[in-house]
Amino acid sequence: MILSHRYRFIFFAIPKTGTHAIRFALRPHLGEEDLEQVQLFARKHLPYADLARIGHGHLGWRETKAALPAQIWDSYVKFAIVRNPWERFVSYCAFMHRATGLFAADPRAAMNRVLDNPEHRMHVVFRPQHEFICAENGRLMIDLVGRHEAMQSAFDGICERLGLPTQVLERVNASAHGPWRDYYDASLRARVAGVYARDIEIFSYHFDD
């Protein structure tokens, strides 16, 4: 998460949606009064005990709204990036098995193994995207949502809204994998659709997008 008082925005860093590319692009514009919570590449925490205690930088709207002064939550522009859930799951599996080689050796088996392991469902990077930015009824609780599939144009639009100069996004912390559709058969496609059904519904995603 980034909380900028200079530009009056809150960036919600949903895991595996290109968040570090956005962070790297935004950081040069941040002032001394601006804040960030992150664990990878740098370790920073927000000065709010309930948020700092969480540790990682993938904070959701509920805990953030509860911790921040109401005038900040109500007046700052809140935004995030979302990603096709089937593509995001490939990225997650490649990321989680980057040190073991299991994904590289047999991607489909590794992906099914992840789905079979309940411990993965407790991992913040596995969590459905809507949980970070939507209420239980599916209502969006932030102002702007860009799509990873068109992230540069989404970032350009966000910068225009915030009054920031835009720039070409770099590829940062990207998982190593091939074309994501190649990893799926019908069964695995259906399994992932079941796990991320609400993401697919709320953000209007399709496998063939």
| Amino acid present at 73 | W
Report the chain's mean pLDDT, rounded to a whole number. 94
How far apart are the C-alpha atoms of 162 and 153, rounded to whole Å? 14
pLDDT confidence band for 39 (50 / 70 / 90) = confident
Q: Assess whether pLDDT exceeds 70 at residue 105.
A: yes
How far apart are the C-alpha atoms of 72 and 8, rounded to whole Å? 8
Q: Assess whether pLDDT exceeds 80 at residue 88.
A: yes
Handedness of CA 26, 31, 32, 36 (dihedral sign): negative
For residues 76 and 9, is the Cβ–Cβ distance under 8 A?
A: yes
pLDDT confidence band for 171 (50 / 70 / 90) = confident
How much is the average pLDDT of 150-171?
94
Q: Assess whether pLDDT exceeds 70 at residue 172.
A: no
Nearest-CA neighbor of 13 among 142, 202, 192?
142
pLDDT for 173 equals: 58
How much is the average pLDDT of 141-146?
97
How much is the average pLDDT of 33-54?
92
46 contact partners, CB below 8 Å, separation of at least 6: 1, 3, 35, 36, 37, 52, 67
pLDDT for 208 equals: 87
Q: Assess whether pLDDT exceeds 80 at residue 45.
A: yes
The total number of residues shown for the chain amounts to 209
Confidence (pTM)? 0.93
pLDDT for 10 equals: 98
How much is the average pLDDT of 171-196?
89
How much is the average pLDDT of 118-144?
95
How far apart are the C-alpha atoms of 159 and 164, rounded to whole Å? 5
Q: Assess whether pLDDT exceeds 90 at residue 143.
A: yes
pLDDT for 181 equals: 95
pLDDT for 42 equals: 77
Lowest mean pLDDT segment, chosen from 96-105, 138-147, 187-196: 96-105
How far apart are the C-alpha atoms of 173 and 159, rounded to whole Å? 22
175 contact partners, CB below 8 Å, separation of at least 6: 16, 90, 91, 92, 94, 95, 98
Q: Assess whether pLDDT exceeds 70 at residue 170.
A: yes
Q: Where do the structural domains in the chain lie, given as residue ranges? A: 1-83+132-172, 85-128+178-209
**77: which strand partners?**
9
How much is the average pLDDT of 75-103?
94
Per residue in 28-64, is it b (16+ CB within 10 Å) or e — as a string?
ebbeeebbbbbeeeeeebbebeebeebeebbbbbeeb
